[in-house]
Structure 1
């Protein structure tokens, strides 16, 4: 609206006020526009790199989750002649705890940081709580889980303790324990890489100065166009201003992929994919699988 009113006001002044004449050379705005395009391109490239890195990290989460379940269900075995009921219970508990870890990490990453100014009504999910992890943890485990500063890391600690117990009971050999521990380290790495993106935003000066430069450029546009285009300077200035404003907004909304916005990495859909795959690997009935996630406004969340 500002740029529509600005363009209209400049055209009216140019047409009806003889003492005011806008005579800004066109090469001025051309040079500024070129510099601004380079600046916005640089910002948007880095913003997309952050989004794509987040998607690759969670692609690894899907792959390692499947590998973890396969390892837990095939490498943890009973001693000869021992009832395997306890082992099956351990396997199920560790796989379920991993599903809780995936949901917990999603919620943990989507918690708001102080620098983020996104209004609450723009959130995609109605709430961002650890409730989705509750069905996969015991009552006491869940009580401890929600009280921690870093709930996902707490679950990885419990997984390590269960592996150590399985080793003490003879259900794991040295080599198998090491392989399972390596997979847990992979989950630590995934969480750490995600936290790095979450906690290290694109430098704020890129956001501030891109807005300043766009505002200057779009304010000057009608002053340059009005001498040659007259009333046509209004729609042309507004259209060009919209393009630069849109480019700036795209970069700003893409740079933080864990803020629970429409443009985010689809953590909810990936979490449900992991849960479905892992339940299938446990040979559970399809009736227990989560419902497939429907895109919201054409966007996978």
Structure 2
């Protein structure tokens, strides 16, 4: 997630330079063909036609960007709920489970710790599961300070359990199954009552819901006609813009065309970079930072002192 008020121009250049190079070459070619050569007498199109297209394109891009932002914001709300339910899970595990005689119980304390640590593994594992298909590339290599692999959950699980989880196609889902199995074990030992078992299982169901909602966003792409036609209309519009001003502006047609095309290209790119919030891009939902927040909160509940170090923004980006 980009938190800096000023965007870094090398990010903008990375995504826009090819298109802007095309618009620049086109503007220069139109100017020289019209004013310097007798190639075509009237190399221009009516300004009103381009203005009408600009208005329609602006409305279309605004609709696209609003829809793309809805996907990003929904992802952020899901992970915000995951933070809340994770805190509730830690509190419930520690306060709703107890020895039948009310005495300190090392086995119970070990069980509580394992349940909370396994949930930390679930949170980090879900982040990796959502991001693993799209490794960093290009300029985004700068963001590699936050690795994205399942080795990060190794410290939260016993070695044999980690190997068991890694043998599954959906590790986060299997971790929830292990949580449910250990809830049944606690019930059999008398550490939790019927009601408390149901209450804890309801929280586990919420974690299933959070994962399912994330997978829905991940596996359901933004409607491709919106993306395709938005990109195509931007290039059609950008191709026509130099022809609309070349008659009146002369050489000033070149910078003006570039400025207009940059505005529409930026609007199109904003939507394209926002529509998929789990793709390891600078503008994505900050899953790494949220995961570390959950880990910190749960460790504090346990009284641990080895709290994680929060990620500092890298180039104005929180991962």
Question: What TM-score bracket applies, with the shorter chain setting the length?
Answer: over 0.9
Aligned residue in 1 for 2:312? 294
Give the secondary structure class of the aligned counterpart of 2:213.
helix
Partner Cα distance (2:94, 2:275) in 1: 39
Unaligned runs of 5+ in 1: none
Aligned residue in 2 for 1:234? 254
Aligned residue in 2 for 1:97? 118
Question: Deviations 1:199-249 (Å, cap 9, x if unpaired)?
Answer: 001011222111111111001001010011111100000000011111111
| C-alpha RMSD over aligned residues | 1.5
Contact 2:312 2:318 in 1 (8 A): yes
Aligned residue in 1 for 2:173? 153
- Structure 1 residue 96, shift from structure 2 partner: 0.2
Contact 2:33 2:39 in 1 (8 A): no
Could you tell me the TM-score, scaled by structure 1's length? Answer: 0.95
Aligned residue in 2 for 1:65? 86
Matched positions, count: 296
Contact 2:44 2:245 in 1 (8 A): no
Aligned residue in 2 for 1:211? 231
Contact 1:125 1:260 in 2 (8 A): no
Contact 1:22 1:224 in 2 (8 A): no
Partner Cα distance (2:254, 2:102) in 1: 86
Contact 1:36 1:213 in 2 (8 A): yes
Correspondent of 2:54 among 5, 17, 33: 33
Aligned residue in 2 for 1:125? 144
- Structure 1 residue 19, shift from structure 2 partner: 4.7
Could you tell me the TM-score, scaled by structure 2's length? Answer: 0.90
Unaligned runs of 5+ in 2: 1-20
- Structure 1 residue 147, shift from structure 2 partner: 1.1
**Matched ranges for 1:196-207 at <5 A:** 196-207=216-227
